[in-house]
């Protein structure tokens, strides 16, 4: 089986998903790497070829075409389609990031081939690719199977622990001057506006500190941001906090917000509605702080404290600061 990995680059930085995808591709091929290729697009992407090699990419295509300097759907689809034609891949894997999820389904439709989205594991059954993927924001896991010779997959970030294949590996780089049919481009990027925060997105964060309705107003979220800054965490919010106007939509965790899976999720003043729990239940460790000892969140928490969040937040900040300073 020939596998192509789309290694996402943002602002010249390689996303951590690239190593996760290459690790999963290696596992799927029984540790063999000769049929695993990767493709890099975007301004400054060539610098990452070696990293991809250390995670098992036997060949790295570095795309040289100004239409791919920053992400645009149509050029990305055309480049990958040309690589598929050239190398007869059976499996094309990318991250289930906002960018992967923007163009992979369209790419799959162009090839009239199976699209398995936001999967948490992959397997081969005979000549079919199968995958497990959460549905209903994680209330159940579906096992899905591709019915086509070519399969497109996006993998949920932060689920597969990446492992180095060979730290000394040198990249075999092939420059790829794709032909982009500009007539097919009916949307054009005019500007990329950087976010206020340099922190990872909730969907990719390994540490999340979240606030609920008990935060009481938008200003109080500042104490969560201060706490988050101590450990480099991303701040999230419950639907109740967002609907009350305490936090913007992009911070919402839950079935109608973002599904997250950090190593550590600390919930301050979140009672734990079904739809919130669905969005964060796959967090590896959950800590809950709530004044109500019967709050449903305590049933999902690994550690809980029955207390007022406004008293607990400064204490957490002090304790975490000590750890950061001593490590």
Partner 1 sequence: MKILVLVKHVPDTETKVKLASGGKSLDDSEFKYMVNPYDEFAIEEAVRTQEKHTGESVVVSMGPTRVQEGMRKAMAMGIDRGVWINTEGHSGELDSFCVASALSKVVLEEKPDVVFLGQKAIDDDSAHIGPMLAELCAMPHIQVATKIEWQDGAQSARIEREVEGGMMEIYDVKAPMVLGAHKSLNEPRFPPLPGIMKAKKKPLAEKKLSEVLSDSPLVTVRGFALPSEKAAGKVFKGEPLPDMVKKVVGLLRSEAKVI
Q: Which of 142, 160, 37 shows the shortest CA–CA distance to 90? A: 37
Subset of 200-239 contacting partner 1 (CB under 8 A) = 200-201, 203-204, 207, 231, 234
Environment class of 256 (CB within 10 Å of its CB; exposed 0-12, middle 13-18, buried 19+): middle
Among 99, 220, 261, 271, binds partner 1 (CB under 8 A): 99
Q: Which two tokens stand for residue 9?
A: 């680059």
By CB under 8 A, residue 183 contacts partner 1 = no
By CB under 8 A, residue 190 contacts partner 1 = yes
Closest separation between CB of residue 221 and partner 1, Å?
A: 14
Subset of 251-270 contacting partner 1 (CB under 8 A) = 252, 255-256, 259, 263-264
Closest separation between CB of residue 48 and partner 1, Å?
A: 18
Smaller CB separation from partner 1, 88 or 307: 307
Smaller CB separation from partner 1, 88 or 285: 285
Among 143, 163, 174, 181, binds partner 1 (CB under 8 A): 143
Closest separation between CB of residue 248 and partner 1, Å?
A: 8
Among 172, 179, 197, 217, binds partner 1 (CB under 8 A): 197
Residue matched to tokens 């029984």: 30
Sequence-distant (≥ 6) Cβ neighbours of residue 80 within 8 angstroms: 4, 6, 39, 92, 107
181 phi and psi angles, rounded to 5 deg: -80, 100
Binding-site residue total for partner 1 (CB under 8 A)?
A: 99
Environment class of 81 (CB within 10 Å of its CB; exposed 0-12, middle 13-18, buried 19+): middle
Subset of 31-70 contacting partner 1 (CB under 8 A) = 70
**In angstroms, how far is the first alpha carbon of the chain from the final one?**
44
Q: Which two tokens stand for residue 93?
A: 């894997």
Closest separation between CB of residue 223 and partner 1, Å?
A: 14
Closest separation between CB of residue 247 and partner 1, Å?
A: 12
By CB under 8 A, residue 303 contacts partner 1 = yes
Element (H, E) at 303: strand 303-306
Handedness of CA 132, 237, 223, 286 (dihedral sign): negative
Q: Which of 174, 188, 157, 190 shows the shortest CA–CA distance to 82? A: 174
By CB under 8 A, residue 149 contacts partner 1 = no
Subset of 121-140 contacting partner 1 (CB under 8 A) = 130, 132, 134-140
């Amino acid at each position: 089986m020939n596998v192509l990995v789309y290694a996402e680059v943002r602002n010249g930085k390689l996303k951590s998903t690239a190593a996760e995808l290459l690790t999963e591709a290696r596992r799927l091929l029984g540790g063999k790497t000769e049929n695993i290729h990767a493709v890099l697009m975007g301004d400054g992407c060539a610098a990452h070829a070696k990293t991809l090699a250390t995670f098992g990419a036997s060949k790295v295509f570095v795309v040289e075409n100004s239409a791919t300097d920053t992400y645009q759907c149509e050029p990305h689809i055309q480049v990958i389609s040309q690589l598929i034609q050239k190398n007869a891949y059976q499996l094309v894997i990318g991250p289930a990031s906002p960018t992967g999820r923007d163009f992979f389904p369209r790419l799959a439709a162009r090839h009239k081939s199976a699209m398995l989205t936001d999967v948490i594991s992959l397997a081969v059954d005979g000549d079919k690719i199968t995958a497990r993927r959460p549905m209903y924001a994680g209330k159940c896991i579906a096992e899905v199977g591709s019915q086509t010779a070519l399969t497109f997959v996006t993998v949920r970030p932060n689920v597969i622990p990446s492992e180095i294949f060979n730290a000394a590996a040198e990249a075999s780089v092939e420059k790829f001057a794709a032909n982009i049919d500009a007539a097919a481009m009916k949307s054009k990027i005019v500007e990329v506006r950087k976010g206020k925060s340099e922190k990872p997105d909730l969907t990719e964060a390994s540490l999340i500190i979240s606030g609920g309705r008990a935060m009481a107003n938008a200003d109080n979220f500042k104490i969560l941001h201060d706490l988050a800054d101590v450990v480099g965490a991303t701040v999230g919010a419950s639907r109740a906090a967002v609907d009350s106007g305490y936090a913007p939509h992009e911070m919402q965790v839950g079935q109608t917000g973002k599904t997250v899976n950090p190593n550590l999720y600390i919930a301050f003043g979140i009672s734990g509605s079904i739809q919130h729990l669905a969005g964060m239940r796959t967090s590896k460790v959950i800590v809950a702080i709530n004044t109500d000892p019967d709050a449903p969140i305590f049933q999902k928490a690994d550690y809980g404290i029955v207390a007022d969040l406004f008293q607990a937040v400064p204490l957490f900040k002090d304790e975490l600061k000590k750890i950061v300073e001593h490590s």
